[in-house]
Structure 1
Amino acid sequence: MLNSMSRRGGTFLPTVHSRSCFTRRQVLVMGGGALLAVVPALAAGAPAGGAWRDSTNARAVIGAAAPVTEGITLHLPNVSDSGAFLPLRLSVEHSQDDFPDTVHVIAPENPFPRVAVFRFTPLAGRARIATRIRLDVSQTVIAVARMRSGTVRVAERAVRIASSGCITPADGNWSEAMRTRVRVPVFEAGVPGEVVTLIKHPMENGLGPDAPPKRIIERFEARLDGEPALRATFGRSVAADPYLRFHLAPRAPGMLRLEWREDTGRRAVERLRVEVR
């Protein structure tokens, strides 16, 4: 039974402080603006005239649809001292008849704004994902979900960072690149359970010192007995050592096949027996 880390396992959970002095008058004067600055960071969904309107990439995904802000949730830290490893959690409410076809994550102020695209199927059971991303500057991150019904949902999250994560040099040690770790539970038939994956990879985005050649994990796919559950396409803004938490809802035991593909064509594949009780 695979109810703990696989044989390649290990723990791999995603592992500003300043002081300012103001007079009482300065605090009162600044109070309104400070409050307005906090509100977008706390909002669960995009405001009616949100940042997606100014993003060419977001508007290309939305097309002529009138997006709604209900039924989609995007979580990121409000503040981080570095933009290199920002934990992101995303979930989309759905029925079995109206599953999200695609969910796009966009960082409009990054040099390459398209962070990732996730394609779920009902075999996933839940349209939820957790990963880690990079941000170049403080900005509002956008998530766009296109549902099978044609509805488009939008969520936004404002994030402040102290230093760029896009120009952080990649770890030059490639000796462990393409090594994978996977954790799967023992499932109950038809009940979504969480799969946790990681692949060692520096994710060289080509933006660091001296602009080294780009080399990234570009695609991920999870299939159970050949049936797709999740496909992901990654851009240059996914953090090093790409990490994913997603769900699977098998009804019977089977073979789970996970594949990571580098933009060079190199692949890493894991096969695990899924147990269902």
Structure 2
Amino acid sequence: MSGFNPLNAKITRRRVASLALGAGALLAARPVFAAEDTWPDLKEEVFGDQPILDGTDWVQLEAPYRAHDAAVVPIDISALRPQEKDRFIKTITLVIDENPAPVAAVFHLGKSIGLASLSTRVRVNAYSHVRAIAEANDGQLYMVSRFVKASGGCSAPATKDPDEALASMGKMKLRQFSAPASATAAKPAISELREAQIMIRHPNHSGLQMDQLTRYFVPAHYVSDIEVRQGDEVILAVEGAISLSEDPSIRFHYLPNGSSQINVVIEDTEDQIFTKSWDIESAQSES
């Protein structure tokens, strides 16, 4: 697909993997502290000495205080202001402090996203703060966080039969949703704004799951890069890691640019590339 560069995908994958796993190694090498003590070292590992300001005027983070399923924890990041020409969010980094690979994903937002609101599902391996760090166009970082009680999400067995998972790997589905009738604090009204969801079939093995028959660990194999385009224009690019749940799902917004198609390219850690295109007007829509 036009504009997709597998070499760049591998470079970004290595960057996020090194951040995620490097931070995880840092945590593993230290004694077990309370969750609130983890962040200072983790922050330095991931963001260096960049100051991070309170982000409650920029974004809102929703996550269950006590997760029903630690392997599929819903995360909603809602922007409190639209993307404006001279003031916008360009990336959102999702961090789960106590996970073996704390950097769950980095979301790079294109110009046509309209509203920097996202939803996804993650694995949470221990009681942990979950953080969304938004980077504004001037480089300033803003953070919001929630505490989630969950454990064992990264080592939870896959829910699908291995043969079934292999047969359906890389299949994708697009859902579109009706625009909200009125504005709310977490969803400002923007003319023409659309909302969509990409659902991907992939086992997203974390490397910490055990095969229930052989009792060996299943090697890590997960979606590392997702690129969503409207025609040739990037709406959203995601750098993933092991903390994204099995069968990754990303919900996002976009402003129509006149193109007739939504195009998605995903790549995983075994260098498999999957592509899918949908006609925007005929894609499945829901209220």
The TM-score with structure 2 as length reference comes to: 0.72
Aligned to 2:113: 124
Report SS of the residue matched to 1:127.
Answer: coil
- Counterpart-to-counterpart distance in 2, 1:212 and 1:76: 28
| Pairing 1:169-248 to 2, within 5 Å after superposition | 169-170=157-158, 171=160, 172-173=162-163, 174-184=166-176, 191-209=192-210, 210-248=216-254
Structure 1 residue 100: Cα displacement: 1.2
What CA RMSD, in Å, does the superposition of the two structures yield over aligned residues? Answer: 2.3
Deviations 1:244-269 (A, max 9, x none): 11111013242221111111111221
What is the rounded CA distance, in whole Å, between the counterparts of 2:127 and 2:260 in structure 1?
Answer: 44
Letter in 2 for 1:83: A
Structure 1 partner of 2:131: 142
Structure 1 match to 2:186: none
Gap change, CA 1:122 and 1:62, over 3 Å in 2? farther
Which protein has the larger Cα radius of gyration, Structure 1 or Structure 2?
A: 1
SS for the counterpart of 2:278 is strand
Q: Which whole-Å CA distance do the structure 1 matches of 2:146 and 2:267 have between them?
A: 29
Alpha-carbon distance in 2 for matches of 1:84, 1:195? 23
Letter in 2 for 1:229: I
Give SS of 1:257's match.
Answer: strand
The aligned counterpart of 2:78 is: 91
In the alignment, residue 219 of structure 1 is paired with which amino acid?
D
Read off the aligned partner of 1:184 and give its amino acid letter. Answer: Q
User: What letter corresponds to residue 205 of structure 2 in structure 1?
Assistant: E
Report the Cα distance in structure 2 between the residues aligned to 1:101 and 1:62, rounded to whole angstroms: 19
**Counterpart residue identity of residue 202, structure 1:** P
1:78 aligns with 2:83: no
Is the alpha carbon distance of 1:66 and 1:261 closer, same or farther for their aligned partners in structure 2, counting shifts above 3 Å? closer
Offset from partner CA, 1:67-114 (integer Å, 9 cap, x none): 122211111001024310000001233433222121000111111111
Partner SS state of residue 108, structure 2: strand
When residues 58 and 240 of structure 1 are mapped into structure 2, their CA distance, relative to the original with a 3 A threshold, is farther
Q: Give the Cα–Cα distance (whole angstroms) in 2 for the partners of residues 55 and 76 of structure 1.
A: 23
Query: Contact 1:179/1:199 (CA < 8 Å) preserved in 2?
Result: yes
Q: Quote the residue 1:249 is aligned against.
A: 255
Counterparts in 2 of 1:256 and 1:164: CA distance versus 1, 3 Å: same
C-alpha spacing 1:186/1:272, structure 2 compared with 1 (3 Å) = farther
Indicate if the aligned counterparts of 1:82 and 1:164 stay in contact, CA closer than 8 A.
Answer: no
Task: Quote the offset at 1:236 in angstroms.
Answer: 0.3
Paired AA for residue 71 in structure 2:
A
1:190 deviation in Å?
6.0
Q: Which residue of 1 aligns with 2:153?
A: 165
Q: CA offset at residue 62 of structure 1?
A: 6.4
> Sequence identity of aligned pairs in percent?
23
Measure, in 2, the Cα distance between the counterparts of 1:63 and 1:192.
Answer: 36
Find the aligned partners of 1:105 and 1:263 in 2 and give their Cα distance: 20
Equivalent position amino acid for 2:169 in 1: A
C-alpha distance in structure 2 between counterparts of 1:99 and 1:136, whole Å: 32
Query: 1:53 Cα shift?
Result: 4.5
CA offsets, 1:24-64, max 9 Å, x none? xxxxxxxxxxxxxxxxxxxxxxxxxx778524246632633
Conserved 8 A contact 1:52-1:59: no
Aligned-residue offset at 1:186:
8.1
Quote the Cα distance in structure 2 between the aligned partners of 1:62 and 1:273: 43
- Letter aligned with residue 182 of structure 1: L
Q: Distance in 2 between matches of 1:63 and 1:272?
A: 43
Q: How many pairs are equivalent?
A: 225
Kept in 1, the 8 Å contact 2:231–2:259? The answer is: no
Whole-Å separation in 2 of the counterparts to 1:66 and 1:107 = 16
Q: Which runs of 4+ in 1 moved over 4 A?
A: 50-53
